[in-house]
Chains A and B, each alone.
Chain A
């Protein structure tokens, strides 16, 4: 009974993880420019990783494999944002200016209202 429940839970997590990766992919196609597309990639990067690895850990049960999966998840979550930062910073340094409002502009707009 417990086995069945764990199995169901792990499949729910795996499916949700798959959905997150899919949404990240759709976002990568739909969003208009480089900097906004990075946000879609981070959806895949973060939530996809967490959900899929948790699902796999539940499948593996209390074994050494679970510990290894947890370590892999941890390292992915530590290195993923570093890679994203390297990408975004490289784009910024090579002169791609983000098409965005400065937050201070908005404050001024609100003041002038």
Chain B
């Protein structure tokens, strides 16, 4: 099971100061807009959470990946609509399976070769698969995903690679 090998991502990498300040600014702006209360305590808590979030994002290596994320941002709403349709279909399937007295499950484990190139792409692919009921991503290792499916039909559907294609087309230039 080479998929079980755990390789921690390296945390170093250059983060330029302007993008850090931009994130801080966006976070502060959204706090002020959405809280709507300008008491010293709440402002203090807001400042604290903005700094904490920015620090955690920096520590997670967000600033090495955010360019890939920003590039695919305009295509995301369309992708979400398609994903919503898929989620509705697979929800109905899974609900039928759970409610049918014979419980017709055929658990299957599949290894899927990701067509996505960037780390952000892998994350979106893995999370989309987990998000649709009936399939759960168990492990991501380099270019491969280990996926547990509730039924073998679900596994076949997955191997047709519709999700794979859609996420890969999200990150094309």
A interface residues (Cβ-Cβ under 8 A, vs B): 20, 23, 26-27, 30-32, 35-36, 38-40, 42-43, 46-47, 50, 64, 67-68, 71, 77-78, 80-82, 84-85, 88-89, 92-93, 98-103, 106
Contacts and interface: CB of A to CB of B under 8 A. Distances in A.
A98 B135 CA distance: 13
Contacts of A30: 98, 103
B99 A23 contact: yes
Contact of B127 (A38, A67, A82, A106): A82
Contact of A84 (B136, B146, B159): B136
Chain A interface, >50% SS class: helix
Nearest to B147: A103
Contacts of A68: 34
Interface core residue of B91, B98, B105, B146 (most chain A CB under 10 Å): B98
Given A67-B34, A93-B4, A101-B106, 20 more contacts: A35-B107, A35-B136, A35-B138, A39-B94, A39-B133, A43-B95, A43-B98, A46-B133, A81-B131, A82-B127, A88-B148, A89-B138, A92-B4, A92-B138, A92-B139, A92-B146, A98-B107, A102-B110, A103-B109, A106-B108
B125 to A, nearest CB: 11
